[in-house]
């Protein structure tokens, strides 16, 4: 299985420096989508994470000072199964 993460929109800031990131996942398995949400919420600074899009393949993450590199690395390491 191939997993590709694409950071579509990195920073949408409000007065309080909240960030909104949309990460595109190409996963067909609901179990892995749920795992991705759990991983995202566990990252420092993340306040909320939700699945969006027609196929529920977009994770929308909001929070304060969220490091996009840390987030995408954690998702890659946590979701990809080693065969």
- Of residues 80 and 75, the one with the higher pLDDT is 75
* Contact residues for 54 (Cβ-Cβ < 8 A; gap 6+): none
pLDDT in tens, 31-62: 888 999 999 999 999 999 999 988 888 899 99
pLDDT in tens, 4-23: 555 554 455 555 668 899 98
Q: Which class in CATH covers the domain with range 5-79?
A: alpha beta
The model's pTM: 0.74
- Of residues 83 and 32, the one with the higher pLDDT is 32
Cα 28 to chain centroid distance, Å, stands at 15
Cα–Cα distance for residue pair 60/83, rounded to 1 Å: 29
Cα–Cα distance for residue pair 79/48, rounded to 1 Å: 19
pLDDT confidence band for 80 (50 / 70 / 90)? confident
């Amino acid at each position: 299985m191939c997993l590709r993460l694409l950071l579509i929109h990195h920073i949408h800031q409000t007065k309080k420096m909240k960030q909104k990131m949309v990460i595109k996942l190409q996963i067909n398995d609901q179990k892995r989508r749920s795992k991705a949400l759990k991983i995202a919420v566990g990252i420092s600074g993340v306040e909320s994470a939700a699945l969006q899009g027609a196929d529920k393949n977009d994770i929308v993450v909001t929070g304060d000072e969220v490091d996009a590199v840390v987030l995408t690395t954690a998702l890659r390491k946590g979701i990809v199964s080693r065969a």
